[in-house]
Amino acid sequence: MIIHLLRDSAALGELAARHVEVAMLETRDQVLGVATGSTPESTYAALSRRAARGTFRTDRLCVFALDEYIGLPRDHPQCYRKVLERSLSEPLGIEPSRIHVPTDDGGSRSASAAKFEEAIVEAGGVHVQILGIGRNGHIGFNEPGSDFHSTTRVVKLAESTRRANSRFFGSIEDVPPRAMSQGLATIMRSRRLMLMAVGAEKAEPIARALAGAVSPALPASVLQRHARLTVYLDRAAATRLDLDAIRSIATVHDWS
Ligand code: GLP
């Protein structure tokens, strides 16, 4: 595990974007896994600047999202496909057909989940997966209790997740109760993982995820088992980590 400590979200985004760009040079299949939420926005903005400068090539880039709400109209501004169009495909010039989102397409949900899993395999597997973390330790929409062997499926959102995400909606009642999410096994199959967190409310889940017991009670803790995990934290998100202790299992780079 490698941990980068950054001054703020902007510095985090710059470094993470540089690492995405370098990692994509290792692979012919340019498959990027992306998260929604506010944390990766600075990385997407930095990637857009790199694409505009011509250092980050997006002509073969293919993108897989972690999750999507169930029940939102396709043109709803909080529909994750729409969010990704605004923050990624438009600024990076990626055709919408190369953005894959696990979706309830009106037919059998297990069939569309299986189709999404197949599409990842057909694309060559995710090379770099960007991840945020929920306040309860969720990744994607894998809430506490999620099976480490889970693949893409319909999930029920925790009350606390709906409350946290209500800031993007009018009220908690407007946040859909269910979503389709990549599973923890799907995420763990990515060749490289980049976990990012910003702000004091992420300090506890980050400390538990990186240095606590590996348990479905805190889904992000499964990431300790990944051979190529890089973590990007601002100062506030790192405050609960025992940096001396974690140096025995991780390389820590302090840029803050
Ligand atoms: C949502 C998403 C997650 C994201 C999390 C944290 O629930 N499904 O993928 O990591 O929120 O979001 P934020 O970065 O806004 O704190």
Residue 255 pLDDT > 90, yes or no?
yes
User: What's the CA gap between 216 and 146, in Å, rounded?
Assistant: 6
Our mutation pick for probing the ligand 1 site, out of 9, 34, 36, 184, counting the most ligand atoms within 8 A of Cβ, is 36
38 lines ligand 1 (CB under 6 A): yes
pLDDT of residue 107: 87
Q: For the chain, what is the largest distance between any 2 Cα atoms, rounded to a whole number of angstroms?
A: 51
pLDDT of residue 42: 98
pLDDT of residue 119: 97
pLDDT of residue 105: 82
Q: How far is CA 156 from CA 103, 147, 250, in A?
A: 15, 13, 33
User: What's the CA gap between 256 and 251, in Å, rounded?
Assistant: 15
Beta carbons of 174 and 245 less than 8 angstroms apart: no
67 lines ligand 1 (CB under 6 A): yes
- Nearest CA owner, ligand 1 atom 9: 140
Residue tagged 């976990």 (tokens):
195
Q: What is the mean pLDDT of residues 70-83?
A: 94
Which DSSP category does 218 fall into? S
CA 84 to chain centre: 12
Share of the chain above pLDDT 70, in %: 100
Ligand 1 mean position, distance from CA 132 (Å): 6
User: Which atom of ligand 1 has the smallest separation from the CA of 199?
Assistant: 16
User: Which atom of ligand 1 has the smallest separation from the CA of 35?
Assistant: 9
User: Which atom of ligand 1 has the smallest separation from the CA of 140?
Assistant: 9
Highest mean pLDDT among 169-173, 217-221, 242-246: 217-221
- Nearest CA owner, ligand 1 atom 1: 37
201 lines ligand 1 (CB under 6 A): no
183 lines ligand 1 (CB under 6 A): no
pLDDT digits (tens, 9 = 90+) for 77-131: 999 999 999 999 999 999 989 999 999 888 899 999 999 999 999 999 999 999 9
pLDDT of residue 104: 82
Locate 254 and state its tokens. Answer: 């302090």
66 lines ligand 1 (CB under 6 A): yes
User: Which atom of ligand 1 has the smallest separation from the CA of 66?
Assistant: 9
pLDDT top residue among 29 and 208: 208
Locate 52 and state its tokens. Answer: 């505009």
**Angle between the N-to-C axes of helices 9-24 and 41-53, in degrees from 0 to 180, rounded to the nearest 10:** 50
pLDDT digits (tens, 9 = 90+) for 9-65: 999 999 999 999 999 999 999 999 999 999 999 999 999 999 999 999 999 999 999
Sorting pLDDT into bands at 50, 70 and 90, what band is 6? very high
* Pairing mode, strands 178-181 and 67-69: antiparallel
69 lines ligand 1 (CB under 6 A): no
CA 149 to chain centre: 18
Closest CA to 140 of 161, 122, 120, 119: 161
Q: For residue 119, what are the contacts with CB-CB under 8 A and spacing of at least 6? A: 64, 100
Q: For residue 180, what are the β-bridge partners?
A: 68, 154
Ligand 1 mean position, distance from CA 141 (Å): 8
Residue tagged 């692979």 (tokens):
27
How is the beta sheet containing 153-156 ordered, strand by strand?
67-69, 178-181, 153-156
Just list the catalytic residues: 67, 136, 138, 143
